[in-house]
Amino acid sequence: MYTNFFYQLRREGVPVSITEWMTLMEALNGGLAGSSLSGFYYLARAVLVKSESHFDQYDLAFQNYFRGIETPAQLLDQVSKWMENPLPPKMFSEEERNELLNKLGLPDWESLKSALEERLRTQDGPHHGGDKWVGTGGTSPLGHSGFHPGGVRIGGDSHGQSAVKVAAERNYREYRSDKTIGVRQFEVALRKLRQFSTRLDGTKDQLDLDDTIDKTCKNAGKLKLVWTRPRKNTVKLIVLMDAGGSMAPYAKICSQLFSAVHKSSHFKDLKFFYFHNCFYDQLYLDAACNPKRAVKTVDTMHLLSKDYKVIIIGDAAMAPNELTMIDGNIFWDLGNEEPGYTWLERLAKTFPYNVWLNPIPEKYWERVHGYYTIKMVRSVFPMYELTLEGLDQAIKKLMVRK
Protein backbone atom coordinates (compact mmCIF):
# COMPACT_ATOMS: atom_id res chain seq x y z
CA MET A 1 0.00 0.00 0.00
CA TYR A 2 3.02 2.32 0.38
CA THR A 3 4.51 1.72 -3.05
CA ASN A 4 3.52 5.17 -4.29
CA PHE A 5 5.27 6.65 -1.26
CA PHE A 6 8.52 5.11 -2.55
CA TYR A 7 8.11 6.89 -5.88
CA GLN A 8 7.09 10.11 -4.14
CA LEU A 9 10.35 10.05 -2.17
CA ARG A 10 12.33 9.56 -5.36
CA ARG A 11 10.50 12.47 -7.04
CA GLU A 12 11.39 14.75 -4.12
CA GLY A 13 15.06 13.83 -4.48
CA VAL A 14 15.44 11.40 -1.56
CA PRO A 15 17.89 8.69 -2.81
CA VAL A 16 15.96 5.61 -1.67
CA SER A 17 17.17 2.21 -2.86
CA ILE A 18 15.16 -1.00 -3.28
CA THR A 19 17.26 -2.63 -0.54
CA GLU A 20 16.35 0.11 1.93
CA TRP A 21 12.70 -0.09 0.91
CA MET A 22 12.61 -3.85 1.49
CA THR A 23 14.21 -3.30 4.88
CA LEU A 24 11.39 -0.90 5.72
CA MET A 25 8.82 -3.50 4.65
CA GLU A 26 10.45 -6.06 6.93
CA ALA A 27 10.40 -3.55 9.80
CA LEU A 28 6.71 -2.84 9.22
CA ASN A 29 5.97 -6.54 9.08
CA GLY A 30 7.72 -6.87 12.43
CA GLY A 31 5.46 -4.23 13.97
CA LEU A 32 8.24 -1.69 14.56
CA ALA A 33 6.01 1.23 13.53
CA GLY A 34 3.83 0.61 16.55
CA SER A 35 0.60 0.60 14.50
CA SER A 36 0.59 4.38 14.22
CA LEU A 37 1.24 6.87 11.45
CA SER A 38 3.62 8.74 13.73
CA GLY A 39 5.57 5.53 14.25
CA PHE A 40 5.63 4.95 10.50
CA TYR A 41 6.93 8.50 9.91
CA TYR A 42 9.93 8.07 12.21
CA LEU A 43 10.61 4.45 11.27
CA ALA A 44 10.59 5.21 7.53
CA ARG A 45 12.82 8.24 8.03
CA ALA A 46 15.32 6.24 10.09
CA VAL A 47 15.51 3.48 7.48
CA LEU A 48 15.25 5.42 4.23
CA VAL A 49 17.00 8.76 4.85
CA LYS A 50 20.78 8.48 4.93
CA SER A 51 21.63 12.17 5.41
CA GLU A 52 20.11 15.00 7.43
CA SER A 53 20.34 17.15 4.31
CA HIS A 54 17.41 15.10 2.93
CA PHE A 55 15.12 15.53 5.95
CA ASP A 56 13.24 18.38 4.31
CA GLN A 57 12.69 16.47 1.06
CA TYR A 58 11.43 13.55 3.14
CA ASP A 59 8.93 15.82 4.93
CA LEU A 60 7.74 17.22 1.60
CA ALA A 61 7.24 13.73 0.21
CA PHE A 62 5.40 12.66 3.36
CA GLN A 63 3.16 15.71 3.23
CA ASN A 64 2.34 15.20 -0.44
CA TYR A 65 1.65 11.49 -0.01
CA PHE A 66 -0.80 12.10 2.83
CA ARG A 67 -2.25 15.17 1.16
CA GLY A 68 -5.79 13.98 1.85
CA ILE A 69 -5.64 15.07 5.47
CA GLU A 70 -4.23 18.53 4.99
CA THR A 71 -6.27 21.33 6.44
CA PRO A 72 -8.20 23.18 3.70
CA ALA A 73 -7.31 26.84 3.38
CA GLN A 74 -10.87 27.97 4.08
CA LEU A 75 -11.04 25.99 7.31
CA LEU A 76 -9.57 28.71 9.51
CA ASP A 77 -12.28 31.19 8.64
CA GLN A 78 -15.05 28.62 9.00
CA VAL A 79 -14.10 27.06 12.31
CA SER A 80 -12.18 29.83 14.11
CA LYS A 81 -15.14 30.56 16.38
CA TRP A 82 -15.62 26.85 17.09
CA MET A 83 -12.11 26.70 18.55
CA GLU A 84 -12.58 29.64 20.93
CA ASN A 85 -12.56 28.94 24.69
CA PRO A 86 -11.03 25.48 24.29
CA LEU A 87 -10.92 22.85 26.97
CA PRO A 88 -7.58 22.49 28.75
CA PRO A 89 -5.40 19.91 26.98
CA LYS A 90 -6.37 16.42 28.10
CA MET A 91 -3.37 14.34 29.06
CA PHE A 92 -4.06 10.70 28.19
CA SER A 93 -2.10 7.99 29.96
CA GLU A 94 -0.20 5.40 27.94
CA GLU A 95 -2.84 2.81 28.86
CA GLU A 96 -5.64 5.10 27.64
CA ARG A 97 -3.76 5.78 24.41
CA ASN A 98 -3.30 2.07 23.74
CA GLU A 99 -6.95 1.41 24.50
CA LEU A 100 -8.05 4.16 22.10
CA LEU A 101 -5.63 2.92 19.47
CA ASN A 102 -7.16 -0.56 19.65
CA LYS A 103 -10.68 0.86 19.63
CA LEU A 104 -10.33 3.54 16.96
CA GLY A 105 -7.50 2.22 14.81
CA LEU A 106 -5.91 4.22 12.03
CA PRO A 107 -8.41 5.95 9.73
CA ASP A 108 -8.81 5.55 6.02
CA TRP A 109 -7.46 8.88 4.79
CA GLU A 110 -9.98 9.36 2.04
CA SER A 111 -12.74 8.73 4.55
CA LEU A 112 -11.20 11.21 6.96
CA LYS A 113 -11.01 13.86 4.26
CA SER A 114 -14.66 13.23 3.40
CA ALA A 115 -15.57 13.41 7.10
CA LEU A 116 -13.86 16.78 7.43
CA GLU A 117 -15.70 18.14 4.41
CA GLU A 118 -18.97 16.75 5.81
CA ARG A 119 -18.35 18.43 9.21
CA LEU A 120 -17.75 21.74 7.47
CA ARG A 121 -21.09 21.44 5.74
CA THR A 122 -23.17 20.31 8.72
CA GLN A 123 -21.52 21.50 11.94
CA ASP A 124 -23.14 24.68 13.21
CA GLY A 125 -21.34 25.35 16.49
CA PRO A 126 -18.49 24.50 18.84
CA HIS A 127 -18.13 21.04 20.39
CA HIS A 128 -15.67 20.25 23.15
CA GLY A 129 -14.71 16.92 24.64
CA GLY A 130 -16.49 14.79 22.05
CA ASP A 131 -15.49 12.05 19.65
CA LYS A 132 -16.93 13.28 16.33
CA TRP A 133 -17.17 17.01 15.69
CA VAL A 134 -14.42 19.58 15.13
CA GLY A 135 -13.48 20.73 18.61
CA THR A 136 -11.09 20.52 21.52
CA GLY A 137 -10.32 17.78 23.98
CA GLY A 138 -11.89 14.39 23.63
CA THR A 139 -11.09 11.81 20.99
CA SER A 140 -12.38 13.42 17.82
CA PRO A 141 -10.03 13.05 14.83
CA LEU A 142 -10.64 16.75 14.03
CA GLY A 143 -9.43 19.47 16.39
CA HIS A 144 -6.80 19.80 19.07
CA SER A 145 -5.92 19.23 22.74
CA GLY A 146 -7.28 15.69 22.73
CA PHE A 147 -6.03 12.42 21.32
CA HIS A 148 -6.66 10.40 18.19
CA PRO A 149 -4.15 7.95 16.68
CA GLY A 150 -4.48 9.49 13.22
CA GLY A 151 -6.46 12.70 13.21
CA VAL A 152 -5.99 16.20 11.84
CA ARG A 153 -4.88 18.82 14.33
CA ILE A 154 -6.66 22.11 13.66
CA GLY A 155 -5.13 24.98 15.59
CA GLY A 156 -3.76 24.65 19.10
CA ASP A 157 -0.54 22.98 20.10
CA SER A 158 0.46 19.40 19.52
CA HIS A 159 0.38 17.03 22.48
CA GLY A 160 0.25 13.69 20.66
CA GLN A 161 3.04 14.49 18.18
CA SER A 162 1.16 13.13 15.15
CA ALA A 163 3.30 12.56 12.09
CA VAL A 164 0.83 14.47 9.95
CA LYS A 165 1.50 17.57 11.98
CA VAL A 166 5.24 17.01 11.69
CA ALA A 167 4.98 16.69 7.93
CA ALA A 168 2.79 19.75 7.57
CA GLU A 169 5.04 21.98 9.65
CA ARG A 170 8.28 20.68 8.10
CA ASN A 171 10.30 21.00 11.29
CA TYR A 172 13.50 20.09 9.46
CA ARG A 173 13.44 22.71 6.73
CA GLU A 174 16.74 24.16 7.97
CA TYR A 175 18.52 20.99 6.86
CA ARG A 176 17.93 21.73 3.19
CA SER A 177 21.12 21.81 1.17
CA ASP A 178 20.25 25.24 -0.25
CA LYS A 179 20.08 26.82 3.20
CA THR A 180 23.02 28.14 5.18
CA ILE A 181 24.07 25.84 7.96
CA GLY A 182 23.95 26.18 11.73
CA VAL A 183 25.81 24.79 14.72
CA ARG A 184 24.44 21.26 14.72
CA GLN A 185 24.72 20.76 10.97
CA PHE A 186 28.31 22.01 10.97
CA GLU A 187 29.16 19.66 13.85
CA VAL A 188 27.70 16.75 11.90
CA ALA A 189 29.64 17.74 8.79
CA LEU A 190 32.90 18.09 10.72
CA ARG A 191 32.55 14.50 11.92
CA LYS A 192 33.10 13.42 8.34
CA LEU A 193 36.67 14.69 8.65
CA ARG A 194 37.87 11.37 10.00
CA GLN A 195 41.04 9.49 9.24
CA PHE A 196 41.57 6.81 11.83
CA SER A 197 44.92 5.64 13.12
CA THR A 198 46.04 2.04 12.88
CA ARG A 199 45.93 -0.18 15.95
CA LEU A 200 49.70 -0.37 16.23
CA ASP A 201 50.18 2.22 18.96
CA GLY A 202 48.71 2.89 22.35
CA THR A 203 47.42 0.85 25.30
CA LYS A 204 45.03 -2.03 24.74
CA ASP A 205 42.14 -0.66 26.81
CA GLN A 206 39.16 -1.10 24.46
CA LEU A 207 37.07 -4.29 24.42
CA ASP A 208 37.14 -6.07 21.07
CA LEU A 209 33.61 -7.45 21.01
CA ASP A 210 33.97 -9.61 17.88
CA ASP A 211 37.19 -11.28 19.04
CA THR A 212 35.74 -11.70 22.54
CA ILE A 213 32.76 -13.60 21.14
CA ASP A 214 35.01 -15.68 18.90
CA LYS A 215 37.48 -16.59 21.66
CA THR A 216 34.65 -17.32 24.11
CA CYS A 217 33.03 -19.71 21.64
CA LYS A 218 36.34 -21.45 21.03
CA ASN A 219 36.81 -21.63 24.81
CA ALA A 220 33.70 -23.83 25.24
CA GLY A 221 31.56 -20.88 26.28
CA LYS A 222 33.82 -19.72 29.09
CA LEU A 223 34.16 -15.97 28.86
CA LYS A 224 37.49 -14.80 27.45
CA LEU A 225 37.87 -11.04 27.12
CA VAL A 226 39.96 -9.69 24.27
CA TRP A 227 41.26 -6.13 24.43
CA THR A 228 42.55 -3.97 21.62
CA ARG A 229 43.95 -0.51 21.04
CA PRO A 230 41.37 2.20 20.23
CA ARG A 231 41.37 3.85 16.85
CA LYS A 232 41.58 7.62 17.04
CA ASN A 233 40.96 10.36 14.52
CA THR A 234 44.33 11.56 13.22
CA VAL A 235 43.01 14.61 11.38
CA LYS A 236 44.63 17.93 12.29
CA LEU A 237 42.65 21.03 11.34
CA ILE A 238 43.30 24.75 10.86
CA VAL A 239 40.29 27.07 10.61
CA LEU A 240 40.78 30.62 9.31
CA MET A 241 37.78 32.94 9.57
CA ASP A 242 37.31 36.38 8.01
CA ALA A 243 35.96 38.90 10.54
CA GLY A 244 34.42 42.35 10.19
CA GLY A 245 33.68 44.58 7.22
CA SER A 246 31.71 42.87 4.46
CA MET A 247 31.42 39.79 6.66
CA ALA A 248 29.13 41.67 9.09
CA PRO A 249 25.92 40.33 7.45
CA TYR A 250 27.21 36.82 8.12
CA ALA A 251 28.09 37.41 11.77
CA LYS A 252 25.42 35.00 12.99
CA ILE A 253 26.51 32.08 10.87
CA CYS A 254 30.16 32.76 11.73
CA SER A 255 29.30 32.70 15.44
CA GLN A 256 27.55 29.38 14.91
CA LEU A 257 30.52 27.96 13.06
CA PHE A 258 32.85 29.20 15.79
CA SER A 259 30.75 27.40 18.40
CA ALA A 260 30.59 24.21 16.35
CA VAL A 261 34.33 24.11 15.71
CA HIS A 262 35.20 24.67 19.36
CA LYS A 263 32.70 22.02 20.46
CA SER A 264 34.43 19.49 18.22
CA SER A 265 36.71 17.35 20.33
CA HIS A 266 37.46 14.50 17.96
CA PHE A 267 40.40 16.04 16.07
CA LYS A 268 43.99 15.21 16.90
CA ASP A 269 44.71 18.94 16.84
CA LEU A 270 42.72 22.09 16.08
CA LYS A 271 44.03 25.59 15.41
CA PHE A 272 41.72 28.59 15.00
CA PHE A 273 42.74 31.99 13.58
CA TYR A 274 41.09 35.18 12.30
CA PHE A 275 41.95 37.60 9.51
CA HIS A 276 40.29 40.54 7.79
CA ASN A 277 39.68 40.28 4.02
CA CYS A 278 43.08 38.69 3.37
CA PHE A 279 45.79 37.28 5.60
CA TYR A 280 49.27 38.72 5.37
CA ASP A 281 52.21 38.28 7.73
CA GLN A 282 49.96 38.05 10.82
CA LEU A 283 47.10 35.80 11.91
CA TYR A 284 44.89 36.95 14.78
CA LEU A 285 43.69 35.01 17.80
CA ASP A 286 40.40 36.89 18.22
CA ALA A 287 37.70 38.36 15.99
CA ALA A 288 38.75 41.91 16.87
CA CYS A 289 41.98 41.30 14.90
CA ASN A 290 43.96 42.85 17.73
CA PRO A 291 47.67 43.12 16.75
CA LYS A 292 48.58 42.46 20.39
CA ARG A 293 46.96 39.03 20.07
CA ALA A 294 48.50 37.86 16.84
CA VAL A 295 51.00 35.28 15.63
CA LYS A 296 53.31 35.45 12.66
CA THR A 297 51.89 33.62 9.66
CA VAL A 298 55.31 32.35 8.63
CA ASP A 299 55.88 30.89 12.12
CA THR A 300 52.57 29.04 11.90
CA MET A 301 53.53 27.60 8.53
CA HIS A 302 56.95 26.50 9.81
CA LEU A 303 55.70 25.00 13.07
CA LEU A 304 52.76 23.01 11.66
CA SER A 305 53.18 20.04 9.35
CA LYS A 306 51.76 20.02 5.82
CA ASP A 307 49.21 17.32 6.67
CA TYR A 308 47.06 19.89 8.51
CA LYS A 309 43.78 20.42 6.68
CA VAL A 310 42.77 24.06 6.22
CA ILE A 311 39.23 25.46 6.10
CA ILE A 312 39.02 29.17 5.26
CA ILE A 313 35.70 30.96 5.80
CA GLY A 314 35.19 34.33 4.14
CA ASP A 315 33.40 36.16 1.34
CA ALA A 316 36.67 36.89 -0.54
CA ALA A 317 35.20 40.26 -1.53
CA MET A 318 37.63 43.16 -1.12
CA ALA A 319 39.43 45.89 -3.01
CA PRO A 320 41.76 44.38 -5.65
CA ASN A 321 44.76 46.24 -4.25
CA GLU A 322 44.48 44.21 -1.04
CA LEU A 323 45.57 41.21 -3.08
CA THR A 324 47.80 42.78 -5.68
CA MET A 325 49.78 45.59 -4.00
CA ILE A 326 52.47 45.98 -1.38
CA ASP A 327 50.97 47.77 1.66
CA GLY A 328 47.51 46.80 0.39
CA ASN A 329 46.48 45.85 3.94
CA ILE A 330 43.27 47.70 4.74
CA PHE A 331 44.41 48.57 8.27
CA TRP A 332 45.88 52.07 8.31
CA ASP A 333 48.69 51.35 10.76
CA LEU A 334 49.72 48.02 9.24
CA GLY A 335 51.69 47.40 6.09
CA ASN A 336 52.70 44.33 4.15
CA GLU A 337 55.90 43.93 2.20
CA GLU A 338 54.37 41.30 -0.05
CA PRO A 339 50.99 41.36 -1.82
CA GLY A 340 48.12 39.43 -0.26
CA TYR A 341 47.94 37.10 -3.25
CA THR A 342 51.49 35.97 -2.50
CA TRP A 343 50.44 35.01 1.04
CA LEU A 344 47.43 33.10 -0.31
CA GLU A 345 49.68 31.10 -2.63
CA ARG A 346 52.22 30.50 0.11
CA LEU A 347 49.63 29.17 2.53
CA ALA A 348 48.05 26.94 -0.14
CA LYS A 349 51.45 25.50 -1.02
CA THR A 350 52.38 24.91 2.62
CA PHE A 351 49.07 23.18 3.43
CA PRO A 352 47.91 21.44 0.23
CA TYR A 353 44.73 20.10 1.89
CA ASN A 354 42.69 23.31 1.77
CA VAL A 355 39.23 24.66 0.90
CA TRP A 356 37.53 28.06 1.04
CA LEU A 357 33.89 28.33 2.17
CA ASN A 358 32.05 31.41 0.91
CA PRO A 359 28.76 32.57 2.53
CA ILE A 360 27.83 34.45 -0.65
CA PRO A 361 25.57 32.25 -2.84
CA GLU A 362 27.58 30.80 -5.71
CA LYS A 363 25.25 32.20 -8.34
CA TYR A 364 26.45 35.72 -7.40
CA TRP A 365 30.19 35.06 -7.38
CA GLU A 366 30.71 36.41 -10.89
CA ARG A 367 28.63 39.57 -10.54
CA VAL A 368 28.57 40.59 -6.87
CA HIS A 369 30.66 43.51 -5.59
CA GLY A 370 34.10 41.99 -5.17
CA TYR A 371 33.70 39.46 -8.00
CA TYR A 372 37.23 40.22 -9.22
CA THR A 373 38.91 39.23 -5.95
CA ILE A 374 36.60 36.22 -5.57
CA LYS A 375 37.91 35.03 -8.93
CA MET A 376 41.51 35.56 -7.79
CA VAL A 377 40.97 33.65 -4.55
CA ARG A 378 39.30 30.81 -6.47
CA SER A 379 42.40 30.50 -8.60
CA VAL A 380 44.32 29.54 -5.44
CA PHE A 381 41.82 27.71 -3.22
CA PRO A 382 38.97 25.34 -4.14
CA MET A 383 35.93 27.45 -3.22
CA TYR A 384 32.55 26.11 -2.14
CA GLU A 385 29.31 27.76 -1.09
CA LEU A 386 28.64 27.77 2.65
CA THR A 387 25.66 25.41 2.48
CA LEU A 388 25.28 21.78 3.49
CA GLU A 389 25.85 20.67 -0.08
CA GLY A 390 28.88 22.91 -0.46
CA LEU A 391 30.27 21.81 2.87
CA ASP A 392 29.89 18.14 1.94
CA GLN A 393 31.81 18.79 -1.28
CA ALA A 394 34.51 20.64 0.64
CA ILE A 395 34.91 17.81 3.16
CA LYS A 396 35.26 15.28 0.33
CA LYS A 397 37.90 17.49 -1.26
CA LEU A 398 39.86 17.67 1.98
CA MET A 399 39.80 13.89 2.40
CA VAL A 400 41.28 13.15 -1.05
CA ARG A 401 44.77 11.73 -0.63
CA LYS A 402 47.58 13.63 -2.36
Q: For the chain, 402 residues long, give each residue's pLDDT as a single digit of tens.
A: 678 888 888 888 888 988 898 999 888 888 887 766 677 888 888 899 887 667 778 888 887 786 654 444 444 455 555 555 555 665 656 566 566 566 655 555 566 666 666 666 676 666 666 666 666 666 666 655 555 555 555 555 544 433 333 344 444 444 444 444 556 667 777 777 766 555 555 567 778 888 888 889 988 888 888 888 766 667 889 999 998 777 878 777 777 777 776 666 677 888 989 998 899 999 999 888 888 889 999 999 999 999 999 999 999 988 888 898 888 777 766 778 899 999 999 999 999 999 999 999 999 998 888 899 999 999 999 999 988 788 888 988 998 876
Q: pLDDT at position 352, please?
A: 95
Question: What pTM value is reported for the model?
Answer: 0.53
Over residues 124-177, the pLDDT tens digits come to: 666 666 666 666 666 666 655 555 555 555 555 544 433 333 344 444 444 444
CA distances (Å), origin 381, targets 108, 317, 352, 362: 56, 14, 9, 15
Please spell the DSSP secondary structure of 153-194, one letter per residue.
E-SS--SS--HHHHHHHTTTGGG-TTSB--HHHHHHHHTT--
CA distances (Å), origin 29, targets 9, 23, 34, 40, 49: 21, 10, 11, 12, 19
The strand ranges marked E within 215-268 are: 227-228, 236-242
Cβ proximity of 135 and 143 under 8 Å: yes
Instruction: Give, for 207, the enclosing helix (H) or strand (E).
Output: strand 206-207
DSSP code, position 108: P
CA 61, CA 12: separation in Å to the nearest integer?
6
Q: pLDDT at position 165, please?
A: 35
